[in-house]
């Protein structure tokens, strides 16, 4: 396969599988740009924008924000120069409509998705991970109280910011997010399999082992 940039990757997998954790590591390792639609919504929420206010009700219920709004937000974001080398899409696309829209957006830039690593994880593991997740209010760094704890409880290792629990990480919302994943997002597995882009990675391993498996998979398109 050709090695020319841009190299666009799409990470798929259930909530809590570790998409964000792995995307941040790959961003550092590969020099690509991570774009998380969930982070973009949370940023808008923090800044009390119209988009943030619209997204909040959906996020609190663990439902997807409507396609037209989400697609427009990502289409605008990928125009920026920091995406020139390639993007690690984290949490987008989440529906077939979003996947088709992404193909069209990239075609307009004369580029395409190069690989879709699918993080495969069991329901018990992702529920456990999400209920123990903590996020830095200041820099967004993500921790897990059992598997990836901060050095000092409640304090970010990176910037000393305060750690908080995402409101959609409550047990009831987590179950609904998983349900939404199976219903609306899991069809993407077939979509990308048909395009010969899918590579499955076992996400039920420690963070570094998943990272090694991801790098191994991505090497095929990056070298």
Q: Quick check: 15 binds ligand AP5 (CB under 6 A)?
A: yes
Q: Decide whether 90 or 221 has the Cβ nearer to ligand AP5.
A: 90
Q: Shortest Cβ distance from residue 87 to ligand AP5 (Å)?
A: 14
Question: Which of 30, 70, 116, 163 forms a contact with ligand AP5 (CB under 6 A)?
Answer: 70
Is 19 annotated as catalytic?
yes
Cβ-proximal residue to ligand AP5, closest one:
38
Catalytic pick among 42, 94, 114, 129: 94
17 binds ligand AP5 (CB under 6 A): yes
Contacts of 22 (CB under 8 A, 6+ apart): 11, 117, 119, 207, 210, 211, 214
Residue 217 — φ and ψ, nearest 5°? -70, -40
Report the candidate in 119, 122, 135 with the shortest Cα–Cα distance to residue 178.
Answer: 122
Q: How far is the CB of 76 from ligand AP5 (least distance, A)?
A: 14
Please give the size of the binding site for ligand AP5, defined by CB under 6 A: 38
User: Can you tell me which residue has the tokens 């994880």?
Assistant: 121
115 belongs to the binding site for ligand AP5 (CB under 6 A)? no
Q: Strands 142-144 and 133-136, how do they pair?
A: antiparallel
- Enumerate residues 6+ apart whose C-beta is below 8 A from 61: 173, 176
Q: Does residue 175 carry a catalytic annotation?
A: no
- The tokens of 19 are what? 């998409």
Per annotation, catalytic residue among 33, 114, 134, 177: 177
Whether 200 sits among the annotated catalytic residues: the reply is no
Per DSSP (E only), the strands in 12-168 are: 33-36, 87-90, 113-120, 133-136, 142-144, 163-164
Active site residues: 19, 94, 133, 166, 177
Which residues sit at the interface with ligand AP5, rule CB under 6 A? Answer: 13, 15-21, 36-38, 41, 58-59, 62-65, 70, 91-94, 98, 129-130, 133, 142-144, 147-148, 168, 177, 205-207, 210
């Amino acid at each position: 396969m050709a090695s020319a940039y841009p190299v666009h990757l799409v990470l798929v997998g259930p909530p809590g599988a570790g998409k964000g954790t792995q995307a941040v590591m790959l961003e550092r390792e590969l020099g690509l740009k991570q774009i998380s639609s969930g982070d973009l919504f949370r940023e808008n929420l923090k800044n009390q924008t119209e988009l943030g206010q619209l997204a909040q009700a959906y996020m609190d219920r663990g439902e997807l924000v409507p396609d037209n709004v989400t697609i427009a937000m990502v289409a605008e974001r990928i125009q920026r120069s920091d995406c020139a080398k390639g993007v690690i899409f984290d949490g987008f696309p989440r529906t077939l409509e979003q996947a088709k829209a992404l193909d069209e957006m990239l075609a307009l830039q004369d580029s395409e998705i190069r690989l879709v690593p699918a993080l495969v994880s069991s329901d018990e593991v992702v529920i456990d991970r999400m209920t123990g997740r903590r996020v830095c209010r200041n820099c967004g760094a993500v921790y897990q109280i059992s598997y990836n704890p901060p050095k000092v409880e409640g304090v970010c290792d990176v910037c000393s910011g305060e750690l908080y629990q995402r409101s959609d990480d409550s047990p009831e919302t987590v179950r609904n997010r998983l349900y939404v994943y199976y219903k609306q997002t899991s069809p993407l597995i077939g979509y990308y399999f048909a395009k010969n882009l899918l590579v499955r990675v076992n996400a039920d391993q420690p963070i570094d082992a998943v990272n090694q498996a991801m790098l191994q998979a991505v090497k095929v398109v990056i070298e």
